[in-house]
């Protein structure tokens, strides 16, 4: 009795390994930046007016909340640091009489509201 001749299966290419390197999240990038500077030392960033900006974030070193609306009752949706350049889009006064500015960050495309005392308009 003859054995059936087996046909070899067509050869497949060896599996490929694809390595995807993900960019760090904003929070990881912020933590990395925060660990690189010494606490209680002012952050000095060069201030350059690119023509797309008309104000600078000011205040003590550290992050500043950029909110979804004009007041502390609104959620923080971004953060900014003293020296960041922005474009003022709108102005509003909250129920407590505080001035808030809607600002746009040309470098990142982010926007939101910041308390007036944290902004120096050119």
The number of residues in the chain equals 122
pLDDT for residue 14? 53
Q: Which residues pair with 55 in a beta bridge?
A: 86, 121
Sign of the dihedral defined by the CA atoms of residues 75, 70, 28, 30, in that order: negative
Residue 39 has pLDDT above 80, yes or no: no
pLDDT for residue 52? 84
The string of pLDDT tens digits covering residues 4-35 is 444 544 555 555 544 444 444 444 433 343 33
pLDDT for residue 65? 96
Which structure tokens are listed for 12?
Answer: 């497949």
What is the C-alpha to C-alpha distance for residues 91 and 69, in angstroms, rounded to an integer? 11
The string of pLDDT tens digits covering residues 87-114 is 999 999 988 999 999 999 998 999 999 9
Residue 115 has pLDDT above 50, yes or no: yes
Q: Which residues pair with 100 in a beta bridge?
A: 92, 115
The answer to whether 58 and 45 have CB atoms below 8 angstroms apart is no
- Calculate the alpha carbon distances from 63 to 14, 31, 112 in Å: 50, 11, 14
Place of tokens 């040309």: 106
pLDDT for residue 53? 83
The string of pLDDT tens digits covering residues 41-81 is 443 344 444 558 899 999 999 999 999 999 999 999 999 99
Q: Which residues pair with 17 in a beta bridge?
A: none
What is the C-alpha to C-alpha distance for residues 58 and 84, in angstroms, rounded to an integer? 8
């Amino acid at each position: 009795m003859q054995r059936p001749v087996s046909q070899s299966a067509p050869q497949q290419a060896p599996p490929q390994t694809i390595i995807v390197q993900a960019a760090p999240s904003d929070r990881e990038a912020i933590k990395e930046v925060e660990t690189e500077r010494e606490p209680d030392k002012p952050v000095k960033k060069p201030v350059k007016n690119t023509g797309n900006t008309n104000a600078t974030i000011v205040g003590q070193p550290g992050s500043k909340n950029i909110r979804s609306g004009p007041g502390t009752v609104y959620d923080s949706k971004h953060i900014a640091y003293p020296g960041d350049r922005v474009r003022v889009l709108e102005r509003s006064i909250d129920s407590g009489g505080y001035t808030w500015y809607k600002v746009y960050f040309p470098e990142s495309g982010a926007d939101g509201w910041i308390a007036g005392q944290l902004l120096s308009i050119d």
